[in-house]
Structure 1
Amino acid sequence: MRRDDLCHAIRQRLERLPEPYAAHYGVVPPPPPEDAVPLGQGLASHQRATEALARIDMLAGQMGDPYPVSRLLSRREAVSSSSIEGTHSTLDELLTLEEEAGNERRDAARQVRDYALILDRLVPQAAAQGPAIFTRELIAELHRGAMRSDPDYGDIPGVLRDRVVWIGGVRDIAYSLYNPAPPARVPACLDDSIAYLRAEGMQVMTQSLITRMAIAHAYFEAVHPYRDGNGRVGRLLLPLMMAADGKVPLYLSPYIEAHTSAYYDALKAAQQRLDWAPMVAFIADAIIGTVDELMATRGALVRLGGMWRARRRYRDKSAALRALDLLPDYPVITAGRLGERLGVSAPAANTAIAQLVEAGVLVERTGYRRNRVFVAQEVLRVLNRPFGAEPIVD
């Protein structure tokens, strides 16, 4: 970590690291700012992001659903956030893992599944509890959920680090870009992070939600309270902050994965120079891009549903017809899952699936006689497209 890269206020917060790294210093970051943050050239992005949030809130109100296309967007979030940290799985693999009970798949898929399940459980809790949800125990719970299936994690998931870590430089701290605080200072810094998340200061009066998301995320990454998994936990905090603020939670990791260079540049500006504007602008652009992507995805799935209905005639209120509304959320599905979600018997679910296979809506992928898994491949094609690409429905 080069001192010349650090602003004066950060250089004032340097503290010698413990042995065997006593020749180096870590940053004990000052508490997150509570005053208004100058946005500079990011002001235009901030305004457009505010408008994008209003659009998605209006959509949620029209649908009567606070989480539009929620299940699959949260799972795409899990895939992307994990991929940023080098844990690679696919949406298809994750959805298949969730359907095939007892199937022992590789560690990466289990890690991504755990990430998605955290969102399923905690986003509604954040909406119900508001900022009070942010506690030390919540942060530990997020980390336990994100890291419990990682066979290479050397510490106990959820337990704060007791060793020196650094960012960049691979295995040699001499080439690091940033050295987080010494282990002994981590608890106090984490408390500052939590107090900011809980909006216990003036920031709720002086800063927008978008600004607070940017600052909270960059600050948490600067504290780096765990040996590994900090990025995943920090990105989990973003939709939780939105839900706690009464907004529709957006999942920003697919945008971040598509713009990793700008993401790390913005983090570096905040952590090394206390220049928050690039991070606010990045989060604003991520919100804009994510809302545009969500709208395009939803529009494509609506068109796809119309195409499915035109392929054959369905009996009114039949399980097969009702299944067409379920498949955008469950494009990888078993007869048991279909029967459970629709509240129909096993024979009725099997009949519905046979009709959907005949219509080309579903394809059986296992070749088994029992425990078969069916896939709506056209849904996966929409969801698996590169971020920002136009969805193809034909």
Structure 2
Amino acid sequence: MKRDHLVHAVRERLVRLPPPHASHYGVVPARPPEAGIALTEVLSRLSRASQAIGRVQALAEDMEDHFQISRILKRQEAISSSAIEGTNSTLDELLAVEDAEDEDARSQVRQVRDYAVLLDRLVPEAQARGPAIFTLDMIQRLHAEAMRSDSDYRDVPGKLRQTVVWIGGGGHIAYSTWNPPPPDRVRDCLLDTIDYLRNEGLQAVHQNLVTRMAVAHAHFEAVHPFRDGNGRVGRLLLPIMMAADGTVPLYLSSYIDAHKDEYYAALKGAQQQLEWAGIVGFLADAVIGTVDELMVTRRALKRLQGEWIGRRKFRKNAASTRALDVLTNHPVLTVKRLGQLLDVSSAQASQAVDQLVAVNILRERTGYQRNRVFVASEVLTIVNRPFGAEPALPERPNDATA
């Protein structure tokens, strides 16, 4: 880490690292700024982000549970956030673990599942408790649960690091771009992040939600409180902050994954130069882009459902009819799982699946006679497309008649 890359106020926070890295220095981040921040250059982007959040709020008001717009969005968040850290899974694999009850999934898929399950639990908890949810114990439990399936993790999941870490440099601290604080300063620095997350200071008056998300995220990543998994935990905190604020949570990791260079540059600017406008503007763009993507996806799924209805005569309230609404959130499932979701008997669920297979809404993918898994592949085609790509409705097969 080169000193001349650091603004004077950051250089003043340098402390010598412990052996065997005593010839290097780490940065003890100052407390996150609570007063107003110079954001003139990104005010228009912040305004558009607030409008985008308002669009989602209006949409959510018409839904039964507006803090969980889509189960699939959480799964995509888990996949994208994990991919940024090099842990790769596909949406198909993840849904198979959950809905098709695949207990033989590889370690990386289980890690992504753990991330998604955390969101399922913590988003409603944050909505209920508000910013009081943020405690040292909560952050440590968040890390412990997110990392529990990572067999390569060398520390105890959830335990604050006791070793020196650095960012960048290809494994050599001499070439790093950022050296977080030494282990004996980590706890106090993380408590500064948590105090800011609880939103009890001047930031509640001077900073809007997107600004607070950006500042908290940059500060958490600067502290780097764990040996690994900090990026995952830092991105988990973003939708949790939104829910704690009473706002419908957005899942921004797909945008971040598609714009990684800009993301890392904005983090570096905030941490090395205290240039907060860059990371605030990036998070504003992430909100805008994510909401736009959400709206495009919802419209495409509505069109797909309309096309499904034209494939056969669906009886009102029949299990097969009700399944059409279920499949957009559960596009990979078993007969047993569909029966649970619809609260119908196994025979009714099996009949519904047979009817949907007959018109190519579902297809069986295992080839087995038992423990069969069914996939709504047209849903996966829409929701699993690259970020920003136009959804293409698959052409209806010629034999899709009833």
TM over 0.5: yes
Displacement of 1:151: 1.0
Equivalence map 1:75-154=2 (5 Å): 75-101=75-101, 103-154=103-154
Displacement of 1:69: 4.1
Which letter does structure 1 place at the counterpart of 2:189? C
Aligned partner of 1:358 in structure 2 is 358
Alpha-carbon contact 2:100-2:333 (below 8 Å) kept:
no
Aligned partner of 1:74 in structure 2 is 74
Aligned partner of 1:217 in structure 2 is 217
Aligned partner of 2:191 in structure 1 is 191
Displacement of 1:338: 0.5
Q: Distance in 2 between matches of 1:98 and 1:247?
A: 27
Normalising by structure 1, we get a TM-score of: 0.99
Aligned partner of 1:328 in structure 2 is 328
Alpha-carbon contact 2:81-2:254 (below 8 Å) kept:
yes
Alpha-carbon contact 1:69-1:298 (below 8 Å) kept:
no
Aligned partner of 1:379 in structure 2 is 379
Aligned partner of 1:280 in structure 2 is 280
Q: Distance in 1 between matches of 2:277 and 2:368?
A: 55
Q: Distance in 1 between matches of 2:235 and 2:167?
A: 17
Alpha-carbon contact 2:256-2:286 (below 8 Å) kept:
yes
Q: Distance in 2 between matches of 1:105 and 1:229?
A: 21
Displacement of 1:102: 5.2
Aligned partner of 2:310 in structure 1 is 310
Equivalence map 1:257-268=2 (5 Å): 257-268=257-268
What per-residue deviation string (whole Å, max 9, x for no partner) do you get for residues 139-193 of structure 1?
A: 1111112111111100000000000000001211000000000000000000000
Alpha-carbon contact 1:69-1:329 (below 8 Å) kept:
no
Which letter does structure 2 place at the counterpart of 1:162? Q
Which letter does structure 2 place at the counterpart of 1:380? L
Q: Distance in 2 between matches of 1:7 and 1:136?
A: 29
Displacement of 1:63: 2.7
Q: Distance in 2 between matches of 1:200 and 1:140?
A: 21
Q: Secondary structure at the match of 1:219?
A: helix
Displacement of 1:68: 5.6
What per-residue deviation string (whole Å, max 9, x for no partner) do you get for residues 247-286 of structure 1?
A: 0000000000000000000000010011110000000000
Aligned partner of 1:205 in structure 2 is 205
Q: Secondary structure at the match of 1:232?
A: helix
Alpha-carbon contact 1:339-1:349 (below 8 Å) kept:
yes
Q: Distance in 2 between matches of 1:260 and 1:40?
A: 24
Displacement of 1:358: 0.4
* 381-390 or 255-264, larger mean C-alpha shift: 381-390
Is 1:249 matched up with 2:244? no
Alpha-carbon contact 2:186-2:223 (below 8 Å) kept:
yes
Hey, which bits of structure 1, 4+ residues long, moved more than 3 A? none
Aligned partner of 2:347 in structure 1 is 347
Q: Distance in 2 between matches of 1:295 and 1:69?
A: 11
Which letter does structure 1 place at the counterpart of 2:46? H
Displacement of 1:64: 3.6
What per-residue deviation string (whole Å, max 9, x for no partner) do you get for residues 212-267 of structure 1?
A: 00000000000000000000000000000000000000000000000000000000
Aligned partner of 2:400 in structure 1 is none
Q: Distance in 2 between matches of 1:352 and 1:42?
A: 52
Which letter does structure 1 place at the counterpart of 2:112? V
Which letter does structure 2 place at the counterpart of 1:247? T
Q: Distance in 2 between matches of 1:144 and 1:127?
A: 22
Unpaired stretches in structure 2, ≥5 consecutive residues: 395-402
Q: Secondary structure at the match of 1:291?
A: helix
Q: Secondary structure at the match of 2:310?
A: helix
Q: Distance in 1 between matches of 2:101 and 2:375?
A: 16
Aligned partner of 1:388 in structure 2 is 388
Q: Distance in 2 between matches of 1:17 and 1:91?
A: 42
Aligned partner of 2:51 in structure 1 is 51
Q: Distance in 1 between matches of 2:43 and 2:169?
A: 34
Q: Distance in 2 between matches of 1:173 and 1:74?
A: 35
Q: Secondary structure at the match of 1:37?
A: coil
Unpaired stretches in structure 1, ≥5 consecutive residues: none
What per-residue deviation string (whole Å, max 9, x for no partner) do you get for residues 43-100 of structure 1?
A: 1111100100011000001234314642100000000000000011111110011133
Q: Distance in 1 between matches of 2:240 and 2:142?
A: 11
What per-residue deviation string (whole Å, max 9, x for no partner) do you get for residues 273-327 of structure 1?
A: 1111000000000000000000001111111110000100011110000000000
Alpha-carbon contact 2:361-2:376 (below 8 Å) kept:
yes
Aligned partner of 2:4 in structure 1 is 4
Q: Distance in 2 between matches of 1:128 and 1:317?
A: 33
Alpha-carbon contact 2:67-2:123 (below 8 Å) kept:
no
Cα RMSD after superposing both structures: 0.9
What per-residue deviation string (whole Å, max 9, x for no partner) do you get for residues 317-361 of structure 1?
A: 100000000000000011111100101000000000000000110
Which letter does structure 2 place at the counterpart of 1:284? A
Alpha-carbon contact 2:164-2:182 (below 8 Å) kept:
yes
Q: Distance in 2 between matches of 1:67 and 1:368?
A: 38
